Chain A
Amino acid sequence: MSDAPLKSYEFRREREPAWRELETLLAKAERSDVRRLPAADLARLPVLHRAALSSLSVARAISLDRNVVAYLEGLCVRAYGVVYAARRPVFEAVGAFLRVRFPRAVRANGGPLLLAVLATILGTGAGWALCAADSERYYAFVPYELAGGRDPAATTSFLRDMLYRNEHGAGALAFFASFLFQHNTQVGILCFALGFLAGLPTFLLLFSNGLMLGALAWLYDSRGLSLDLWGWLLPHGVPELTAIMICGGAGLVVARHLLFPGRLGRLESLSVHGREAGVLVMGAILLLFAAGLIEGVFRQTVTSVPVRYAVAASGFAFVGWWLGFCGRERRT
C-alpha cells in the first residue's frame, strides 16, 4: 500500500477555504437580499459559485467521502438559487408591466376575451328578456343584499333617488370604495381561478353577472330611467366590467389550454399559458382598484348626468387606447 496522501484529501484541503467563503456569503445573501451585498462580495459570488460547481464535479469523480459530496451538492443548490434567480427591481417590473406586458397579454388573448364578453352580453340580454316576460324573475337574478330595495315593487322616485343620493361623509365614501374594491377583486380572482375547472364555472359566473345587469337595466328602463341608470353605472362600469371580463377571459384561457393542450403536454401547456393568464388577472385587479375609487367616491359626489357621461366616455377611450394600442412594437 502506498503512503501517499489520498487525492480526495488533498483536493479537500486545497478547496475547502473557497467553500467556506461561499457558505458565509450565501448565508448573508439569504438573510437579506443579494442586491444588498457589498460590491466586493457580489464580485466574488459568481467566481465562488463556479469554483464550487467544479469542486462538485471533481468530488463526484474522485471522492468517496459521501459527506463532502452531499455538502457540495447542498452548497451548489443554494448558490444556484441566489445566482440564477434573476429578479428585477420591483418598480421597474411594475412600469414594464403597465406599459407593455399587460396590454400585450390582452391583445394576445382576443379569442377567450371575446368569449367572456359574449357571455356577459348574453347574460344581460337574457336577464332583460326574462324579466320583461315575468317581473317576478327579477328577485331570482338580483340577490337581496345587492338590490338594496331596488326591485320591481319600489316606486319610480325611490329608484331615481338611489342614483343620485349622497348622504355619506367623505370617510364613509372611502370605506365604501375599499369594500367595493375587495368584493370585486375577489369575484375577479374567483372568475380566473375557476377557469381551472374547465371554464364552466367561469362562464356561469360571467353569465349570472350579466343576468344581474340585464335585470337592473330592464327595471330602470321600464320606469323610463335608462339615461340616468347608465350615467350612474358607466363611469365605474367601464373599468369594472372590463376587469371582470378580463378575469373571466383569463379563466377561459386556462380552461382552453387545459382542455386542448395542442402540441405541448397538458401540464406544460398549462404552465406556459397560466402565466399569461396571471398577467391578465393582475392588470384586471388594478382596473378594479380604479373602478372602486370611481364607484365609491366619484359616483357619490358627482350627480350631473353630462359629467357622468363625459367621465364614462373618457374612461372608455383611455381603456381602449391602453389595451388596444399601448406597448405595440413599432413597425420599421
Chain B
Amino acid sequence: MSEILILAEQRRGELRPATLELVTAAQGVRRAGDRVVVALIAAEPQALVGVASAAGVDEIVTVPVAAREFEPDVIEAAVLALVDARKPSLVLVPHSIDAFGYAAALAARRGYGFASDVFQLQYAGDTLVATRGGYGQKISIEVDFPGKSTVLLTIRGSTFKPPEGSGSPDVSSFAAPAVRARVRSVEFLDPPPSDDVDMTAAEFILSIGRGIGEEANVPRFRELADSLGATLGCSRPIADAGWLPKTRQVGQSGKTASACKLYVAMGISGAIQHLAGMKHVSTIIAINSDAAASIFSVARYGVVADIFEMAEALQEQSS
C-alpha cells in the first residue's frame, strides 16, 4: 500500500488541465490499497479544492506557500518536505514548462528515480516501467528504477484523458517550510494580440510548417485557409522566424488549440513539441512530401504530396 502523489500545477489562480490528466495516469498504475493524492501548492490552495476533486482522487493536500505564482525555490522546498513526510512511492508531475524548472532538481537533490516526458507507465510484476521517446521521438525507450523507493516522473501532456466526473476526496493540509525565493516572479505578459485571432476558440485550423520554404509562400496558404474556412496556424519555426505572429503558433509552447476538432497540417514534419499541442484533436489530416515524416504516425489521414500542388488542388476543389 503506497501513495501516488500528484503535484498539481496552478497559474493565475487556475488549476491547469494537465493536473487532471495525471489522475488518469495514476489510475493506470494504481495497485490495491494505493492512494492517489493531489497536492495543491499555491498561495490560496483552498480555492482549487473543488476543481481538483476529480473521480479517482483519494486525498487532496493543501500546501499554502508565500508565492502567488511559480517560484522554483518555494515549490521545491514544499515538495521535498511533503515527500519526506509522506514518502509516496510515485510522484507525478506534468511535463510542463514549470516542471522543466524544478522536477529534475527534486530528483537530483533526493536521488528519486527519475524520468521525464513519459507517455506510458505500467508495472511489469513489481517493477515500475516508464516509456519515453528517444532520438527525436523516432525510438521508444523503456526505463525502470531499481532500488528506488520513490520515483518522480514528468508525464507528457495530452496523453491521458482527464477523468470524467468528480469525487469526494479527503482534504488535509501541510505546512511547508518558509524559504527565501532566490528566483522571484515579477509579472505575466500576455502576448500582444496582433491580429485578433483566438486560437483557443478555433475549431478548424490549417497549420503550416517549415515545408513551405520561404516567407513569400505564406500568403498562398493564408488564401487557402480562407477558402476552406479554416483559421491559419503555424508551427514554432514559422513563428520564430517572424513569418506569422506568435499568436498563431500551435504546439507545446504555442496556444493550446483546445477547441480544435479538425486540423490540417501542411509541411509540418511532426516535431514532438508541435504534436504535443495537437494530439487531442479528433481529426488530423497531414500533408507532407516526405513519406517518413513523424506526423503520419499521429495523424488520422495522410497525404504524401507536394504541398504547393496540393494547395492549388484544394483551392480549386473548394470553390
A and B held together in a complex: no
Binding site for A on B (CB under 8 A): none
Binding site for B on A (CB under 8 A): none
